[in-house]
Amino acid sequence: MQRSAKLYILFEHAAGYGIFKVEEFEEVSMLLPQLEAAVHDLGRFNSIVKIVGFCPFKSAVTALENVNAISEGILPEELQQFLDITIPKKKKSEWYSYHFPELVKIVPENYIFARLAKFIKNRKELTEQSLEGLEEITMDSGKAQAILNASKSSMGMDISEIDLLNIEMFAARVISLADYRKQLAEYLKSKMADVAPNLATLIGEQLTQGSLTNLAKYPASTVQILGAEKALFRALKTRGNTPKYGLLFHSTFIGRAGTKNKGRISRYLANKCSIASRIDCFAETQSQVFGEKLRQQVEDRLKFYETGEVPKKNIEVMKEAMEEFEQHISQKKRKKKRKAESIDNDQSNQVNEENNHESPKKKKKKSISNETVEDAAEVNGAAEEVDETPKKKKRRRRRMIRILVNYTR
Q: What is the pLDDT of residue 396?
A: 62
Q: What is the pLDDT of residue 331?
A: 83
Q: What is the pLDDT of residue 385?
A: 47
Q: Is 366 exposed, middle or buried (0-12, 13-18, 19+ CB in 10 A)?
A: exposed
**For helices 314-408 and 289-307, what crossing angle results, to 10°?**
170
Euclidean distance between the first and final Cα of the chain, in Å? 170
- Contact (CB, 8 A) for 23 and 5: yes
**Measured CA angle at 151 (ends 145, 156), to 5 deg:** 150
pLDDT tens by residue, the chain, 409 residues: 333 346 788 888 888 888 888 876 555 555 567 666 666 776 677 777 888 888 888 888 888 888 888 877 788 888 888 887 777 655 556 778 888 888 888 998 888 999 998 999 888 888 888 889 999 999 988 999 999 999 888 888 888 888 888 888 888 998 999 999 899 888 888 888 888 899 988 988 766 667 888 888 889 988 888 888 888 888 888 888 888 888 888 888 888 888 888 889 999 999 999 999 999 998 888 888 898 999 999 999 999 988 888 888 888 888 888 888 888 888 877 887 787 877 877 777 777 776 666 555 444 444 444 444 455 444 445 444 444 455 565 666 666 556 544 544 4
Q: What is the pLDDT of residue 397?
A: 60
Q: Is 23 exposed, middle or buried (0-12, 13-18, 19+ CB in 10 A)?
A: middle
Three-state secondary structure readout of 207-264: CCCCCHHHHHHCCHHHHHCCCCHHHHHHHHHHCCCCCCCCHHHHCHHHHHCCCCCHHH
